[in-house]
Every structure is written in structure tokens, then in C-alpha cells.
Amino acid sequence: MPEHPSAPHHLVEEGARLERVATGATWAEGPVWLPRRRAVRFSDIHTNRILEYSEETGELTVVSDDAEYTNGRTLDLDGHVVECSHGRRAVQRDTAVGPGDAHRPITLVERFGRARLNSPNDVVVASDGAIWFTDPAYGIKRPVEGHAGDEEYGDRYVFRYDEKADALTPVVIDVEAPNGLAFSPDESLLYVADSSLSPADPDTTDTARPRGHSIHVYDVVEGRHAKNGRPLVEVSPGLPDGIRVDVEGRIWSSSLSGVQVFTPDGERLLDLAVPEKTANLCFGGDDGRTLYIAASSSLYRIRTTTTDASTAARGRASR
């Protein structure tokens, strides 16, 4: 596969080059590293497929070709995949993530009161096991990303789902198109990407709704409330979609140019060029230092000097 030189930087392993490891998608999204399979699972949303790249064999396989337009995904505290489904308008869990297991998701949450969710987009699991997810309208407004539908609760929120109590609570209501999200290493901060620069309905004539492309940050209070929201940084060119936070608290964001990395104060540290429009990213590999990047038709990777903050959070939860 082609390799692309990158400028030296302390966040990138010395001598590392961006490598395209798989291609053939139409809109690659939602990558997650599966340690038990030593593979990256990701979505090709427009063709309604889930794909998996094996780090061991270098092969790309189809996990599901009737995936109901899955998007973002993460691992829960037991190592199972929690993923967003545009088609089912739900957040679901796939417990079959061992070698050779088939994709068999079960729905966790699909309604807010009597209203169906819009189209859950991205998800994180906190160290207490609570599931936080974004719910913009892309899957019900864009035919290639789901099924046509209405915004039944009338807006687009970030939710927290307490699975033990079966309780769904809005935690962020002031971001126009909440997309990627991530916690700081100590989970005292929640970062939320606003992708409303690209509205869910591209033909809309409603000029009253915001058109933003910033990452917002919130204080997390008592592990369950998001307070004091404020814009942290405007991502340009393009907009922030998927985001991750590393163990030092730096924010890694997708953008039109590739992957941009920011300090917790919003200073840009790195702009890692990717030859295709970037949607999402995740850390993986046996040591957690390989950055996998889902970008339009392809999956790329590059070696870094850091790891994902969620690894530390899960470590705290298991003690």
C-alpha cells in the first residue's frame, strides 16, 4: 500500500510514515480497535457494511453487509463493542467480538420517552459504565446514511444512558450537530464536536440554525452532568467529526486536511496530512500507539508516541 511522508513531530514515532492499509469503502467511519481479534472494525456507511482490517493478516473482510448504517463505536468495560446505528435509530451492543465471532448486535436504547432517537452517531463509555452518545440527524435526513424520518423530540442532543437504571438523560442540548465526543483522561471534561457546518439536510433554507465547526468542552459534574459549555477551538479546514483524547489530554480531531491535534487549551500542535477527507480515528495496535484513520475510501495508520485516554479510564474501573 502507498506510504506518505510526514513531518517530524514528537507525537509521531521517529521515522513513522502514514500508510494506507485498506481501501474500497465509500465513506469510512467509526473505527475501533478490537484487542481480542487484533483488528480494526469500521463502517462503510453508504454501502451499509461493517468492515474489519486484520493487523495480523493484512486482510480486509466484510463483517456485515446489512448493518443498518452503523457509525461510531467504542468498547465497554467488558471489551464488547457499543455502536451507533443510524438505521435502527439506536445504540446497540455486539458481544461477539472474539476470533471468528459473527456480528450479533442487541439494542440498548432507542427512545427518549415516547420519541425515537434521531440517528445516534458517536459514543463513549465512561469508567462507571455509563454510555454517552451524540444524536444528530444525519441518518434521517440523508438517504445514503440511513432511513428518512422525523426529529421526533424536536432537537439534537448528547445523551447519557445509565444501563443499570435504564435511564436516558440529555446532558448537552446547546450544540447544533453534536458528532464526535471524548472524555479527558480523568473524565472531568467532555469534548463534543459540532459538525453543523455540514447540515444534515443540505437543501435546508433555514438560516436561523447555526453553522459551526468547533470542538466544545464541558465540565463533568458528579460523573453525570455536563456544565459550563464553551467553544474550545474551531477546526479548519473543514470541520471536526470523530475525535479522540490521548493520555496527556491532547485532543486528536478529524478535519478536511487530515488529523489535527490540540492541547487542552486549544493550541494546535500538529496537522497530520491525510490524502483523503478524514472522518474518524482510533488508537490501536498491541501497544495502543498505532493511530488508525478512517478517511473516505480508505483506512490509514501511523505510529505515534501516545495512547488513548480511555485505556487509563478502563484501568481505573477494573481496580
Q: Is 52 annotated as a binding residue?
A: no
User: Closest Cα partner for 53 from 67, 68, 63?
Assistant: 63
Q: Which 3-state string (H, E, C) describes 59-81?
A: CEEEEECCCCCEEEEEECCCCCE
Q: Is 121 annotated as a binding residue?
A: yes
Cβ burial of 14 (10 Å; 0-12, 13-18, 19+) is: exposed
Q: Is the dihedral of CA 118, 120, 121, 123 positive or negative?
A: positive
**Alpha-carbon distances, residue 50 vs 66, 151, 250, 300, 301 (angstroms):** 8, 26, 29, 16, 18
SS3 96: coil
Q: Is 94 a catalytic residue?
A: no
Instruction: Give the cell for residue 125.
Output: 463509555
Of the candidates 94, 241, 246, 308, the residue annotated as catalytic is: 241
**Alpha-carbon distances, residue 211 vs 152, 207, 262, 288 (angstroms):** 22, 9, 22, 35
Q: Number of C-alpha atoms within 13 angstroms, CB side, residue 19?
A: 13
Distance CA 181, CA 288 (A): 19
Q: Which residue has the cell 439536510?
A: 201
Whether residue 225 contacts residue 254, with contact meaning beta carbons closer than 8 Å, is answered with no
Q: Is 29 annotated as a binding residue?
A: yes
Q: Is 179 annotated as a binding residue?
A: yes
Instruction: Give the cell for residue 168.
Output: 436516558
Annotated binding site for substrate: 121
State the catalytic residues.
Answer: 241
